[in-house]
Chains A and B, each alone.
Chain A
């Protein structure tokens, strides 16, 4: 199927060092994410909590031919998806926060909606800012967080992507998320 081969081939081209390929994937990814999200809205899944990471995973399955794509392709795809998902969620959270500040009590902020599940959500705008700050000093750690948090990537895929060992990624992750937590709590 066209979509399959398209993204699968684009990923192959990325692996071969073709920089324009990753940019070409983004619109396809948006379209697919949109379609999946719209489907969730229509179907019985409405109101249920859906992890953006699950959405990314679903998009991967839809867009990339599992049989033809190599393990690396998955990593490349997820890294792009993580970037896109970060943009989506952060800009959305930012808009909501802004709407809340300026436009009265029309909307409930993200973290209040999640009380029931026992999972607490963190302030994505603050996290984004903190991530930028972290990236200034240690871009790799910020990438680890981005790929883990926004795309739910497995540690070994992150390691593969960033060209470092698995243990380095694990160390980065523990340190970075702790550092970010403090940054959000103190300064956010």
Chain B
């Protein structure tokens, strides 16, 4: 095939597209009349002949699922090849074999030659941690660690780093099994288990006396070995958790298996805080409590499955706030496993229950107190209680009083306590009154009416209460409290209302809606499903209520991404919605909006548009044009037009929406619309106007949230990017500096967002030719990237590359060697962490070529080397530096 010129390509594309619109029999005559030359015409005909095959075969990729799993595995293995082959030596130690593999890295059995010949265990930490600080933190404890000498403590000898910079720890080699496995395998009874546990406490007590906190007590760190025929538990890994704890939480996201590493089950509430600085000996008491719990009933206090399915925030919240059941309560819920558990303890279930119930329950629960001042203050106190239990004396631990529990509840709920308590009271009061009113057949009719009224009152009140809890502000623990509260309420209300389907359906709708508003979709689902089920089962149910249940469940399905199901439900809701009163019609409009959202999410733009138009009509008819209530639909329509790239139209709708909302800057929805308006202006190139909107949005956010709030900063960043686009480098720079300073102050020096802010600022400086300042900023970025992401991460490589390019462009010969070194380093990181031929790698190589091409560096051999590497990578597509 002859190469076509760009003009010919253009012509081919145009003719091809037109020909496709025409029935195939008529295409020939169309081409005849087009006046195309033979080359173009031949090309078009050739393409047309392949069109049907293309339609059939190129739509979306299809492969069997097991092939995909395998493919992802392989790609990950090659892209994130952290697992190097086992080394032959680590530092001065000869490796004998690998004996374990964990989230943190691998454990090896090794041999030490000097100063004495002995076998040691070496824990080699994965790449990705800052080795220097790991070693530094270890060094800080080295003296204290050396002073430890206890039969149940495995010695830690040394720490160091390999040539590749991976930290390792050298420990006494313990040939043993986990304490929990040991106990179960040998069917140890409660007394024997307590005896072993007592020794573990002794080891921890010893460490605490030497000023060492273990921080990571769990079965895999408590191994039982045989010495002279006696089982001896040995606590390993002292000093390791502290040295490596930094950033452990973030690392959990980067596991290869998609499974959490680390063992959150044993983590104390204070360790589950983001900063993890405030940890003392009582954190170990907590972990000991978890271990004892497991030794007693063979299960963990917090359901492991729930823990691992939860996101990181949720997980931390669970640890901080979830009150675990007593061991015996837990045991009672284990059904078959409880019997097995009793067998493993050489006894019957009922005997086991009797043994643990009471004192042992309270001893464990005292260790597990969320508030550490209520735990045993020292290991000695815990040992004391265990000793008293063994001798049938009264233990210090006792069940918490009702008042104490109530106080704890209030303390946990803090800001929510007022709203929450009222919700509880209303729910309970409502339920009680409906029950009272429903008594007596003769009064049934009246009762139904009362029920309906009460019902309505409850819901209105609840909705008001709940609406006052803005989900946008109720992040983190607060959401948890509200959810727990709702869960509690739901659990208590459920059985009470079993004979009152109407009320139950209504209460569940409210609970489900609230949970949905809090983005707790999984939790919302059962309530909304049940409410629909109830409405459908009602003989003479209300159409409006059924429609509402359908509407809510349909909305939930949208958020859950089940668009088909969502569409089905919403269409049913729309069909059922009464259209009599204004209120009815408003609700119909709301269902239409929701349906439009579903369709938009499915990418069915035109169907969505139809719904939106209908909804808009209804809203404008019911509320009048420009009424406040029309704002949501106008916003959605505007989004629709932005999606189609029709920014002008979007702009006018955003403006209408703002006019309807009244433009008061103290409402988050309004601010989002203002920001959206800014974006639609920016996309049209109306930078000045866009800027004005951004500034308004920022002012609003600063006012209702705070100038330091992430939302305000996000707008500031957008503003700075906009200024940069307009060539207003100096202003952009000063704003970026402001953002950077605020981020540092509010998020800390070491936050990933600080890193991206540094990169942004560096680029702004670079664009102004302020090379020296730019270099300084990129140097900071490099240091931070190394600390945050480790020494072999693409994000670090990006910063290294940027620094290298900046040094190169200073045109100062003295900077070239460093520039070369940095760019080469960036290339090698990209090559080892990204797939082959990745654009970042190629672009960085091109940056290197540019360096080699400058006169002063003129090094034909190196230039040729880069050229050939680039040539081997195929055609050049994009010549932008990353």
Contacts and interface: CB of A to CB of B under 8 A. Distances in A.
B874 A182 contact: no
A46 B66 contact: yes
B154 interface: no
Interface of A: 1-6, 12-13, 16-21, 23-24, 26-28, 30-35, 37-38, 40-41, 45-53, 55, 57, 60-61, 65-68, 71, 85, 87-89, 91-92, 95, 110, 113-114, 117, 119-122, 124, 127, 132-133, 135-137, 139, 145, 148-150, 152, 154-157, 159-160, 163-166, 171, 174-175, 177-182, 185
Interface residues of B, number: 84
A181 B57 contact: yes
Given A2-B311, A3-B311, A5-B313, A52 B752 contact: no
Given A1-B314, A34-B257, A178-B54, 6 more contacts: A27-B254, A30-B76, A37-B69, A46-B65, A89-B63, A166-B644
B253 A17 contact: no
Nearest to A49: B64
Contacts of A152: 60
A35 B519 contact: no
Interface stretch (B9-17, B220-228, B398-406): B9-17
Interface string B832-843: 000110001000
B875 A133 contact: yes
A20 B79 CA distance: 18
Contact of B71 (A20, A26, A89, A185): A89
Give the 10 A-B residue pairs with the shortest CB-CB distance, closest first.
Answer: A1-B311, A154-B603, A35-B258, A2-B312, A92-B71, A50-B65, A37-B69, A181-B54, A61-B561, A17-B721
A92 B67 contact: yes
Contact of A66 (B47, B259, B559, B644): B559
B436 interface: no
B418 interface: no
A87 B837 CA distance: 10
Contacts of B537: none
Given A12-B714, A34-B258, A171 B13 contact: yes
B9 A87 contact: no
A26 B795 CA distance: 11
Contacts of B60: 51-53, 148-150, 152
Interface string B643-683: 11100000000000000000000000000000000000000
A37 B253 contact: no
Contacts of A113: 63-64, 67
A185 B66 contact: no
Contacts of B643: 71, 156-157, 160
B69 A41 contact: yes
B253 A3 contact: yes
A119 B62 contact: yes
A23 B796 CA distance: 11
Interface in B239-259: 253-259
Contacts of B73: 34, 37
Contacts, number: 253
Interface in B772-810: 794-795, 798
A116 to B, nearest CB: 10
Contact of B62 (A5, A19, A49, A57): A49
A141 to B, nearest CB: 9
Contacts of A37: 65, 68-69, 71-73
Given A53-B60, A181-B58, A139 B878 contact: yes
B64 A122 contact: no
Contacts of A163: 645
11 contacts: A20-B798, A23-B840, A30-B80, A31-B256, A35-B258, A37-B68, A37-B69, A88-B72, A127-B58, A139-B878, A164-B645
A50 B253 contact: no
A24 B310 contact: no
A71 B311 contact: no
B559 A52 contact: no
B63 A49 contact: yes
A60 B563 CA distance: 14
B560 interface: yes
A60 B325 CA distance: 35
> Which of B13, B60, B314, B795 has its CB near the most chain A CB atoms (within 10 A)?
B60
Given A23-B798, A135-B875, A4 B311 contact: yes
B875 A181 contact: no
> Which of B9, B79, B759, B840 has its CB near the most chain A CB atoms (within 10 A)?
B79
A23 B51 contact: no
Nearest to A6: B253
Contact of A135 (B48, B254, B877): B877
Contact of A20 (B56, B645, B756): B756
A38 to B, nearest CB: 6
Nearest to A66: B559
A45 B877 CA distance: 39
A178 B47 contact: yes
A92 B75 contact: yes
A6 B752 CA distance: 11
Nearest to A1: B311
Contacts of A95: 74
B717 interface: yes
Nearest to B753: A13
A2 B756 contact: no
A117 B56 CA distance: 13
A175 to B, nearest CB: 6
Given A66-B559, A67-B559, A179-B47, A156 B644 contact: yes
B756 A21 contact: yes
B46 interface: yes
Contacts of A27: 80, 254
A2 to B, nearest CB: 3
A52 B255 CA distance: 22
B439 interface: no
Nearest to B874: A132
B70 interface: yes
B672 to A, nearest CB: 9
Interface string B561-581: 100000000000000000000
Interface string B608-648: 00000000000000000000000000000001001111000
Contacts of A3: 253, 311-312
Interface string B408-441: 0000000000000000000000000000000000
Contacts of B858: none
B20 interface: yes
Given A110-B63, A121-B63, A135-B875, A159 B644 contact: yes
B55 to A, nearest CB: 8
Contacts of A149: 58-61
Nearest to B314: A1
B515 to A, nearest CB: 12
B50 A166 contact: no
Contacts of A34: 69, 72-73, 76, 256-258
B64 A48 contact: yes
A186 to B, nearest CB: 8
B72 to A, nearest CB: 5
Contacts of A38: 69, 257-258
A41 to B, nearest CB: 5
B857 interface: no
A32 B602 CA distance: 22
Contact of B519 (A67, A127, A136, A159): A67
B759 A47 contact: no
Contacts of B874: 132
Contacts of A117: 62
B718 A16 contact: yes
Interface string B310-326: 11111000000000000
